[in-house]
């Protein structure tokens, strides 16, 4: 199984974009046309247990049954059992899908989570991580002094509240207080939806493992989108007073965040969060058009690009053919990605532009526009002129082991819907180079002399296609992609 390291488990994030507070979700008020869907009230007397298992009842609790749970001093075993059982019943009631078995919930420390997360990321010198380092460097999100695996581990280790593991069939809540744990309502409901998905659709199936970074974000758009949608519908029921919900005395959040050191990498965090933001919008559009069965169909046949979840479209990427031209020792990583390439997609390209606008002042997108949303259940805006009109991309990391030290570069082929879309991408990308101190030589090669992205670049636009070539020195550019030499 090929993975980019973005999502090995299904997680719930506490998103802290410094300087960009997340807008409050605005689901419809109870009783309105946009109120959360629910199964019909069961034919029952009070809270007596049914003769057979029915939607809205699990392990002795109805979805609307009061429970004696007080988290002010943490959860004991009996409280946790009641809390989880009623949560399962409420997920069934909203989602109109039956749990097939109980869901274990265990609590782990954030330190243990970070440790296991680091183990999953593998050695920084592994072939995958050296390949993936070039992907994130091409996005101007992690530089040459920071490994992508390390940055992803640090980011998720600080931001994850809990996760569901399909291989273990259990939920793990990440907390800084394992002795007296508390569980946020939304986190519990979100992870219970993942358990429900797994029991009905098998989340270990290969269809839930994208072959590229963009493929993983697209798949997460339906998996996380479904869970986030139900979570938001549940939260609305609590806020409206329709349901009595267990209060949480304090958030289980992790460390602070930043974009320029001292915390999670905001470029990575924004990329990973895209399915949680656009996913529920995408899934809600399917629900409104075809009910929960349309949502189920999307889980059976996930989208293939983040463009589809950003814009709620079924437009598919156009094919990109590529021939390796590397000379003088420059070669791709044929065993990694798809024939050596990754596809970062529209969401990651947007994250690149937003991140560089924020940390280097690049004239790409207005960082404040990230909160300009107008769709129900949307959190952040991933739609911008510089990344809109994406048709496809293939990013080929290169390496040269001929010298005393291995050197790295890449060729990034981007395809756009029109010449104008390609021009907007090129202009914004050149503004990133300019913001990082690049100077243009007579042969058209741009050189960044110092800093995290100290390299040489060639940017060539031909109609609706833009190709970026990167190498340590200007001479390397022509060796990696001779056909683009001036």
Question: Is position 381 within any domain?
Answer: no
Per-residue CA distances from 335 to 3, 331, 408 (Å): 13, 12, 16
User: What pLDDT does residue 288 have?
Assistant: 97
Query: CB of 427 within 8 A of CB of 353?
Result: no
Range of the domain at 216: 10-253
Report the mean per-residue pLDDT for the chain. Answer: 89
Q: Specify if 168 maps to a domain.
A: yes
Q: Is the pLDDT of residue 118 over 90?
A: no
Query: Residue 96: what pLDDT?
Result: 97
**Which DSSP string do the residues of 95-142 spell out, in sequence order?**
HT---SS---EEEEEHHHHHHHHHHHH--TTSHHHHHHHHHHHHTTSS
Report the alpha-carbon distance of residue 131 to residue 128 in Å, rounded.
Answer: 5
Is 289 part of any domain? no
Distance, CA of 263 to CA of 123 (rounded, Å):
21
pLDDT in the model for residue 6: 56
Instruction: Choose among 213, 138, 144: nearest CA to 406.
Output: 144
pLDDT reported for residue 354:
98
Q: HSE on the CB side for 399, CA within 13 Å?
A: 18
In this prediction, residue 333 carries a pLDDT of: 97
Number of domains in the chain: 1
Q: Give the model's confidence band at 18: pLDDT under 50 very low, under 70 low, under 90 confident, else very high.
A: very low
Q: What angle do CA 19, 20, 22 make, to 5 degrees?
A: 145
> Which residue carries 């959040």 as its tokens?
253
CA proximity to 411, closest of 313, 331, 306: 331
- Residues 403-427 have a mean pLDDT of 96
Q: Is pLDDT at 19 greater than 70 in this prediction?
A: no
| pLDDT tens digits, 68-77 | 999 999 999 9
The stretch 58-71 carries a mean pLDDT of 94
Listed in sequence order, the DSSP H helices in 162-205 are 185-201
The average pLDDT across 384-412 equals 96
> Measuring CA to CA, how many Å separate 380 from each of 299, 345, 370?
23, 17, 5
pLDDT at residue number 38: 55
- Is 425 part of a structural domain of the chain? no
Among the residue ranges 62-76, 331-345, 414-428, the one predicted with the least confidence is: 62-76
SS3 label, residue 6 = coil
Residue 407 · residue 475 · CB < 8 Å: no
pLDDT higher than threshold 60 for residue 346: yes
Give domain status of residue 408, yes or no.
Answer: no
Domain assignment present for 171: yes
Contact 232, 283 (CB under 8 A): no
Yes or no: say if 11 and 194 are a contact pair by the CB < 8 Å rule.
Answer: no
Tokens 């429900």 sit at which residue? 196
Does residue 36 belong to any structural domain of this protein? Answer: yes
Band the pLDDT of 51: cuts 50, 70, 90.
confident
Say whether pLDDT at 228 is over 60: yes
Which residue from 253, 268, 22, 249 is spatially nearest to 140, judged by alpha carbons? 268
Q: Return the ∠ at Cα 340 (arms to 272 and 431), rounded to 5°.
A: 55
CA distance 198 to 65: 26
Phi-psi region of 251 (alpha: psi -120 to 50; beta: other; left: phi over 0): beta
Distance CA 420, CA 106 (A): 52
Tokens encoding 325:
């031209």
Q: Answer yes or no: is 29 within a domain.
A: yes
Model confidence at 206, pLDDT cuts 50, 70, 90, reads very high
Higher per-residue pLDDT: 262 or 411 = 411
Q: 183 versus 12: which is more confidently predicted?
A: 183
Tokens of 320: 């990109």
């Amino acid at each position: 199984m090929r993975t980019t390291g973005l999502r090995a488990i299904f997680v719930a994030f506490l998103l802290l974009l410094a300087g960009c507070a997340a807008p409050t979700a605005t689901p419809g008020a109870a009783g309105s046309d946009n109120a959360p869907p629910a199964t019909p009230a069961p034919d029952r007397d009070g809270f007596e247990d049914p003769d057979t298992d029915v939607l809205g009842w699990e392990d002795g609790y109805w979805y609307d049954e009061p429970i004696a749970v007080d988290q002010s001093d943490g959860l004991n075993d009996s409280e946790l059992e009641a809390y989880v059982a009623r949560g399962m019943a409420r997920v069934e009631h909203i989602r109109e899908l039956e749990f097939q078995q109980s869901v274990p919930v265990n609590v782990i420390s954030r330190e243990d989570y970070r440790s296991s997360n680091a183990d999953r990321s593998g050695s920084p010198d592994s072939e995958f991580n050296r390949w993936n380092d070039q992907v994130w460097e091409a996005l101007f999100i992690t530089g040459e002094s920071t490994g992508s695996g390390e940055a992803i581990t640090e980011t998720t280790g600080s931001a994850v509240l809990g996760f569901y593991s399909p291989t273990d069939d259990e939920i793990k809540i990440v907390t800084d207080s394992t002795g007296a744990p508390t569980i946020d309502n939304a986190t519990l409901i979100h992870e219970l939806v993942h358990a429900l998905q797994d029991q009905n659709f098998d989340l270990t199936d290969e269809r839930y493992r994208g072959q590229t970074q963009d493929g993983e974000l697209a798949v997460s758009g339906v998996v996380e989108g479904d869970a986030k949608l139900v979570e938001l519908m549940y939260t609305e029921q609590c806020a409206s007073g329709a349901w009595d919900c267990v209060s949480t005395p304090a958030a289980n959040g992790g460390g602070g965040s930043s974009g320029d050191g001292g915390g999670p990498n905001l470029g990575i965090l924004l990329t990973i969060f895209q399915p949680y933001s656009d996913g529920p919008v995408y899934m809600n559009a399917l629900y409104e058009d075809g009910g929960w069965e349309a949502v189920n169909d999307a889980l059976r046949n996930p989208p293939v690009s983040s463009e589809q979840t950003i814009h709620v479209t079924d437009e598919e990427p156009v094919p990109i053919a590529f021939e390796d031209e590397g000379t003088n020792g420059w070669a791709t990583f044929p065993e990694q990605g798809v024939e050596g390439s990754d596809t970062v997609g529209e969401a990651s390209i947007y994250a690149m532009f937003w991140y560089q606008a924020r940390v280097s002042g690049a004239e790409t997108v207005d960082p404040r526009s990230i909160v300009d949303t107008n769709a129900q259940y949307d959190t952040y805006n991933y739609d911008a002129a510089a990344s809109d009109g994406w048709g496809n991309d293939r990013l080929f990391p290169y390496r040269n082991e001929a010298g005393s030290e291995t050197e790295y570069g890449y060729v990034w082929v981007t395809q756009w819907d029109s010449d104008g879309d390609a021009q907007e991408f090129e202009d914004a990308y050149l503004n990133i180079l300019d913001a990082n101190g690049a100077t243009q030589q007579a042969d058209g090669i741009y050189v960044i002399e110092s800093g995290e992205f100290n390299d040489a670049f060639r940017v060539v636009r031909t109609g609706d296609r833009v190709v970026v070539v990167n190498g340590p020195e200007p001479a390397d550019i022509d060796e990696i992609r001779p056909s683009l030499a001036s």
